[in-house]
A and B are shown apart, each in its own frame.
Chain A
């Protein structure tokens, strides 16, 4: 991790509920475990705000004025905003909770809930978001490194990852085996790969992220 990326790491919990008592009490509860909270009375307010690039999660009332909680979840997905969601509901509504969970919700809590359950869910959500952010950062790194390879180097890397021997690659490319070795070692260096195994893992991840 570089120092530049480490500065704004204090996570943020975003609370959206139309009831001011709920907003205020949740903010207080989260503060006891050192978490910062931003509160909104509607989904609209959230969509019009720019947030710092920190691990975050949403605590969302299912029944919101205007856009409902589940509609909002769909809307976020459509906008490609990947923020973990913890749903709050006034009454246990199983079909609704199933839908929410399938759509990727972290937790579906019935009011009133145990403080620990909420804080645990928040912790899980923030961890997941943190991890996702780290992966995204790493992926961007890998992509950047891969993009710095020459066309020939990229071809050689692809064949190495596919398990071909140097001799086979040379034959395939119609070049000398020594030349392949030079490309290979330069690519390994550019990709910061200590071993072929590590290189394979990197490329796998890159390919996985490209796939839909």
Chain B
């Protein structure tokens, strides 16, 4: 079928080189145009036609090619007239410029509208190559491709036209019989119409380009609309799910929209919201306004505000802890959306935990005090001795003075020196009492920065008599360059005293009794204290040492080591036991250097 041949888009065919049947010159008769008798120009008709064309271009540019073809047929009085345009598709090079197609045909070939030929399979290719108007006669002799097209072309006048110097197509007229031959007048008119074709083509191209542009824009907009529709649904889901409070606000302090969760959180209702009574500025208690101010600065500078904790005042005046965060709408300087999360549950859980921790501390402190009382009980004999010594001296001096007084032999100088001794011994006795009372007092934990060596010295004073009584050798290796530790003085004294007393007890009856105390920094920069004894050692009991109520002493409570360990751990440290060499035990504890300890 003829149509199928013309409308073929077969790339194989399109790109194959045309095997022209006869040379171009043999089918041309262009020169004859000027030798044939010619009709006079009909300028009036020509002008009307051009005006009609121009107004058609303005009114209905989409059909301009058809109007042009009609005009050609009308003015040249030919049998068929039309346009051939080179295919133009910037995206596919094997199509671009490879074919001619026929956008408009009038007359007998009108049924072939929309068809076309590969570039080198018809006369248009030769016209563009020659770059001039050509008159063909029976061109099917050279272009077998057009052989089946009927009715056959007796004569065909083709005029190329250009845009910006580049050939884009041809206009043509065909005589299917020899009733009339094209003449010079046709040549002139066709040249004129060729120029119009160029303009029309450009206008049409612009329109096509615009159409493409519009289509692309519409497609993009449709996509955005589609996306927005999906997003909106998702956002609506978030808002309506009421898992977090969500509200729209402006920077003036108003809340313009809010979900049920938000309203419930602050105990307002829809009516309040509608009347503008719900204002975030008013929901904020005075002491949180400063924090809000900072958030405002942040949101103005960056468009968003990172979540932060604050409180809202509910309608009934009760405070509710919340976490809020938000963002300004894109392109807006004053309006945005924010979320608010009710932290009441978390806060109360946190408070309960805090309370439990405080209670634990109180119990631990009380237990520690009981242990101190116990330790003091064990030290009672030593304490009695320490108090008795100055008391005895005071009694002696006092009695001596009374005797001299009774005998009237009292020299004021002697009296003075005796009284001085009495005062000094009284002070000494009271210092012992103060020290013990300080150790036993029921006071809350008091953290301050301490030199651990001071604590060691204080404990050696407390236990000094006990050490002496047991006739043991005391060795101290205290590092002079220790960082300070942050700790409760009494609790540290307690731990050390406990370890020292354990050491003394462990060496009861041992042949070589040496108690050594060491202070230094460990590999991690912590302060380490070690108490070594040369006693019986830990044996198989090492695992149970820190178990409450485990004791090897006849009158021990079995709480000393567990309490000591818990005290050290509450200071962020560690307490452990190892074997001493060649015999005995080492009890060590560490404490973080002050400044690194997070309590």
Contacts and interface: CB of A to CB of B under 8 A. Distances in A.
Interface in A85-106: 88, 90-91
A182 interface: no
Contacts of A21: 389-390, 393, 421, 424-425, 428
A140 interface: no
Given A63-B468, A90-B384, A115-B396, A33 B390 contact: no
Contacts of B400: 25, 28-29, 31-32, 115
Q: A interface, by DSSP: helix, strand, loop or mixed?
A: loop
A203 interface: no
A28 B397 contact: yes
Nearest to B425: A21
A25 B468 contact: no
Contacts of A24: 393, 421
B385 interface: yes
B418 A28 contact: yes
Contact of B392 (A25, A33, A65): A25
A162 to B, nearest CB: 55
Contacts of A19: 389, 393
B427 to A, nearest CB: 11
Interface string A165-176: 000000000000
B389 A25 contact: no
Contacts of B404: 32
Given A32-B404, A112-B391, A90 B385 contact: yes
B242 interface: no
Contacts of A123: none
Contact of B421 (A25, A31, A33): A25
Interface in A11-27: 19, 21-22, 24-26
Interface string B149-191: 0000000000000000000000000000000000000000000
B469 A63 contact: yes
Contacts of B399: 29, 114-115
B471 interface: yes
B222 interface: no
Residue with the highest number of chain A CB atoms closer than 10 Å, among B392, B409, B414, B424 = B392
Interface in A139-190: none
Contacts of A31: 400
Nearest to B395: A112
A111 to B, nearest CB: 4
A25 B403 contact: no
Contacts of A65: 468
A137 interface: no
A22 B409 CA distance: 23
B381 interface: yes
A115 B428 CA distance: 21
A112 B469 contact: no
A135 interface: no
Contacts, number: 74
A115 B381 contact: no
Contacts of A33: 403
Contacts of B471: 68
A115 B425 contact: no
A25 B381 contact: no
Given A31-B400, A32-B404, A33-B403, A25 B393 contact: yes
B376 to A, nearest CB: 15
Interface in B366-395: 381, 384-385, 388-395
A153 to B, nearest CB: 56
A111 B392 contact: yes
A68 B471 CA distance: 9
Interface string A54-94: 00000000010100100000000000000000001011000
Given A28-B396, A28-B397, A111 B403 contact: no
Contact of A113 (B385, B392, B414): B392
Interface centre among B403, B418, B469 (most CB of A within 10 A): B403
Given A32-B404, A68-B471, A91 B385 contact: yes
A33 B404 CA distance: 9
Contact of A22 (B381, B392, B424): B392
Contacts of A91: 381, 384-385, 388
Nearest to A24: B421
A165 B65 CA distance: 192
B403 A32 contact: yes
B468 A111 contact: no
Contacts of A90: 381, 384-385, 388-389
Contacts of B397: 25, 28-29
Which of A21, A68, A111: most chain B Cβ within 10 A? A21
Contacts of B421: 21, 24-25
A28 B396 CA distance: 8
A2 B392 CA distance: 42
Nearest to A109: B392
Given A32-B404, A68-B471, A25 B388 contact: no
A123 B418 CA distance: 23
Contacts of B381: 90-91
Nearest to A66: B471
Interface string B571-599: 00000000000000000000000000000
A40 B397 CA distance: 18
Contact of B388 (A32, A111, A114): A111
Contacts of B395: 112-113, 115
A63 B399 CA distance: 24
A22 B389 contact: yes
A65 to B, nearest CB: 6
A25 B394 CA distance: 8
Contacts of B469: 63
Contacts of A26: 396
7 contacts: A21-B425, A28-B414, A29-B396, A33-B403, A90-B385, A91-B384, A112-B391
Interface of A: 19, 21-22, 24-26, 28-29, 31-33, 63, 65, 68, 88, 90-91, 111-115
- Nearest 4 CB-CB pairs, A to B? A115-B399, A25-B396, A90-B385, A21-B393
Given A22-B396, A112-B388, 5 more contacts: A21-B389, A21-B393, A29-B396, A29-B397, A63-B385
